[in-house]
Structure 1
């Protein structure tokens, strides 16, 4: 009588960590309560089926029966988030923890870290502006036109960039007009609507940031294209995967 046995390869700590990193990337944008609920439901499912909890159980819980993102939107999200990541990396603003184009909110999400070194300088704030405008710049380069994905809400790229540019002009001491005066602008929209000259200066600053983002992305076009394809295919990439794709990028578009 011949017997056969199945040999299972041991799971390494590195493989476990890679799986956890991937799940963390898929879960970007969820709250702690969301994660707790997903894990609890996955445990219940595994218990009912009398088996151990699996990676797929958590991944299915994260997706929550959402329909797949349409093909064209998925490409747009991948382009937009990759633009942020490439400029963030090229300007050495800090680590990239992950990218996700399949979030519960129906959009893309970039989890970016920022170094404290030099963060109080004009050059650093200008780098930040370029990074914030980089999603729009990537769409402009790859698609030839931009979507409304950069704006539309108070936490959008355009809103954050406008607030940062206004702070540079009015409260951080980097302004072109009376830089020593400090202004506490609690309502940026009202301030800009009531001061056309100031609004023109802020808009010009944002145009320069957009142009710089375009320049950096053109200089790193191969990295942008590679990251867009990888993100489109995987829908979520952890920081390790992103770093491997971008590790040969050099600083571009200096301050």
Structure 2
């Protein structure tokens, strides 16, 4: 059996640490830990220690250094706080490490993005990771960009759609114009790219204003996330509620 002296809800962080693993992966970990337990000299020791299971789940998670973990935590919590504050999505969990360095998993509120304001708030949430870094550190690392599915790429795509295909653009809003190649369209159409960039600046301002009101809270929670690696959405919302009541 697994030894623990905490409430059964403490199993949830372990489940989150195991996210992405297959059943075979988890079975292998349990088998290895049971083997180690049998080889212990102390007959009263648990077959699988809680700390051993936690460490086994952490192994191979591509965890950054403590300093980088805190920075990643700031970035991901920036997203999370913006999503929850603006009502764009419900956070499932926030984590440090993994293939992408960090992750904020959410369940989108589809009704919230049916208006131009809602889409701008979604864009703000995508830019909130970088905005959080700028607030805490004075600058942001390049992790928000670089790939077609990055924060910057997704935010730019939404801003471009608002100007060309959602019927709310500054120029001829009733004309549907879905660019075949958005990168080339923005590269060679300076007027359109200027309008898209203005939307991105407005969205970043929204993110900045949301996070600036919770800056101390953000920094403190980032320390906790960097240490614990994963934070459940329920705990995040409870911490936000406690912070608002102070």
Q: Structure 1 length normalisation: TM-score?
A: 0.81
Tell me which residue corresponds to 1:167.
Answer: 161
The correspondence of residues 97-136 of structure 1 with structure 2, limited to 5 A, is: 97-103=92-98, 105=99, 107-136=101-130
Distance 1:114 1:196 in 2: 32
Kindly tell me: are residues 126 and 72 of structure 1, through their superposed partners in 2, closer, same or farther at Cα, counting changes over 3 Å? same
Residue in structure 2 matching 1:239, options 207, 226, 233: 233
Mark the runs of 5 or more structure 2 residues left unpaired by the alignment: 39-45
Please say if residues 93 and 233 of structure 2, whose CA atoms lie closer than 8 Å, have aligned partners that are also in contact: yes
Shift, 1:47, TM fit = 5.0
Number of the residue aligned with 2:13: 22
Q: Is the 8 A contact 1:102 1:235 kept in 2?
A: yes
The alpha-carbon deviation at position 226 of structure 1 amounts to: 2.7
User: Which of 28, 31, 43 is the aligned partner of 1:41?
Assistant: 28
The structure with higher relative contact order (CA 8 Å, sep 6+) is 1
Quick one: distance in 2 between partners of 1:139 and 1:132?
A: 13
Tell me the CA shift for residue 210 of structure 1: 0.8
Confirm or deny that 1:78 pairs with 2:70. Answer: no
- Once residues 192 and 74 of structure 2 are traced to their aligned partners in structure 1, the CA distance between those partners, rounded to angstroms, is 32
Structure 1 contact 74–101 (Cα < 8 Å) conserved: yes
**RMSD of aligned C-alpha atoms?**
2.5
Aligned 8 A contact 2:89 2:109 in 1: yes
Structure 1 residues without counterparts, runs of 5 or longer: 1-7, 251-255
What is the CA–CA distance in structure 2 between the aligned matches of 1:194 and 1:27, rounded to whole Å? 46
CA contact (8 A) 1:39 1:58 kept: no
CA distance in 1, matches of 2:51, 2:4: 19
Relative to structure 1, the CA distance from residue 122 to residue 27 in structure 2 (aligned partners, 3 Å threshold; closer, same or farther) is: farther
Change (3 A) 1:167 1:57: farther
Looking at secondary structure, tell me which structure has more helix per residue. Answer: 2
* Distance in 2 separating the partners of 1:195 and 1:210: 22
SS in 1 for 2:94: strand
Q: Which one has a larger percent strand, Structure 1 or Structure 2?
A: 2
Contact 2:63-2:96 at 8 Å conserved across structures: no
Q: TM-score, normalising length from structure 2?
A: 0.84
* 1:218 lines up with 2:212 in the alignment: yes
Return 63-72 or 110-119, whichever deviates more.
63-72
Q: Do residues 197 (structure 1) and 188 (structure 2) align?
A: no
